[in-house]
Amino acid sequence: MNPQERQQIAQALADWFHANGRDYPWRRTTDPWAVLVSEVMLQQTTIPTVLGRYGEWMRRFPTPQALAAATEEEALRSWEGLGYYRRVRSLRAAAQAIVERHGGVFPTEAADIRALPGIGDYTAGAVLSFAFNKPAPLVDANVARVFARLCNSRTPVDSPAGRREQWCLAEQMLHRTDPRAYNSALMELGQLVCTAGAPQCLLCPVRAWCRAKDKNPAELPVKLPKKQTTALEHWDILHVTKRGILLELQPEGKRHAGLWRLPRRSQEEVQGLEHIADQAYSVTRYKVTRHLHRATPGTRPRKGESYIPLHGLEQIPMASPDRKIINTLIPGSHAR
């Protein structure tokens, strides 16, 4: 693909986005903090879910200073239901860095943005282009799929060589004068037209330049073999007394660090207890099955476990599967 073709593709994409781009709250602002929040939320969370939470979250934490001043517990509780809680921890750390290093003013230089905690190449590129309209490359799954098909690339996009290839192309393809629209178009094209299952090639604004159009674009991108899904089982107890419900605070290093969960016991320890529910859910490549049993009246808290009043459940950060099953088993527990 020669430089002239790259420029033509970039302009065609920018023009297409100006005519067809969808309206989202984070596209109505150039506030870099609002852009950063949207990008962090959209990582591994669907657009409809983010649309339901973004406005409320931004009203609660409209500036880096607001989140930097919040406790970790408050930040985790605000993120509940969005999953992957390390994201909000990183976002809070970035807010604190903006306050401490930049006096609360969001940095405008690429090096300063990349130096913020939790900010990788993609997020830096998104903030630079969407907030400041600076030409900065970005590659996510949608962009990688578009590039792989445009170039008819057979290099696995999730391999080191594939990632290098994608980022190199992203740098070469940049629209220098309208990067905000161009990068938005790349992502939008992958979401709406150049989709994973059935690409709508006849609607594609860059079809004329696509090297996969006369082959089978649905075969691309090539990916490495998927890691096998691992099945996990664990056994928990439900213990409700006048003091409240017994919960366990997950320590640092755990997947749900800082969140409250139903206390876990060994399979042997729940033998003979009343089995009251099963719950299945997925976390990344794990499929988890929980077996919940009713504790005996004489159950005592262990290290890290505490009684939480039922009326106080709304204020504490809790892992989503736990909150769901408690809401189901204890109506009116105010666990929402």
- Residue 250's pLDDT is 93
Phi, psi dihedral angles at 250 (to 5 degrees): -75, 130
Express each pLDDT in 201-250 by its tens digit: 999 999 999 999 878 899 999 999 988 899 999 999 999 999 999 999 99
How many Å apart are CA 177 and CA 181, to the nearest integer? 10
**DSSP per residue, 97-164:** HHHHHHTTPPP-SHHHHHTSTT--HHHHHHHHHHHH--------HHHHHHHHHHTT--S-TTSHHHHH
Asked if the model's pLDDT at residue 333 lies above 80, the reply is no
- How many Cβ atoms are within 10 Å of 118's Cβ, its own excluded? 17
Instruction: Provide the pLDDT confidence category of residue 53 given band limits of 50, 70 and 90.
Output: very high
**What type of residue sits at position 253?**
G
Express each pLDDT in 19-30 by its tens digit: 999 999 999 999
> Which is more confidently placed, 214 or 125?
125
What percent of the chain is predicted at pLDDT more than 70?
Answer: 99
**C-alpha distances in Å from residue 75, one per residue of 51, 124, 140, 196, 308:** 19, 22, 26, 34, 19
**What type of residue sits at position 48?**
P
Express each pLDDT in 127-157 by its tens digit: 999 999 999 999 999 999 999 999 999 999 9
- Residue 334's pLDDT is 55
Tell me the average pLDDT across 186-193: 97
- How many Cβ atoms are within 10 Å of 94's Cβ, its own excluded? 25
- Residue 66's pLDDT is 98
Structure tokens, 243: 């003091």
**C-alpha distances in Å from residue 35, one per residue of 41, 109, 149, 215, 228:** 10, 15, 28, 38, 35
- Residue 336's pLDDT is 47
- Residue 300's pLDDT is 96
- Residue 274's pLDDT is 97
Asked if the model's pLDDT at residue 34 lies above 60, the reply is yes
Instruction: Say how many Å lie between the first and final Cα of the chain, rounded.
Output: 53
Asked if the model's pLDDT at residue 288 lies above 90, the reply is yes
Q: Per the residue annotation, which of 39, 188, 248, 305 is the catalytic one?
A: 39
39 is annotated as an active-site residue: yes
- Residue 190's pLDDT is 97
Express each pLDDT in 57-105 by its tens digit: 999 999 999 999 999 999 999 999 898 999 999 999 999 999 999 999 9
Q: Which residues contact 115 (CB under 8 A, 6 or more apart)?
A: 97
- Residue 332's pLDDT is 66
Cis status of the peptide bond prior to 221, with omega within 30 of 0: yes
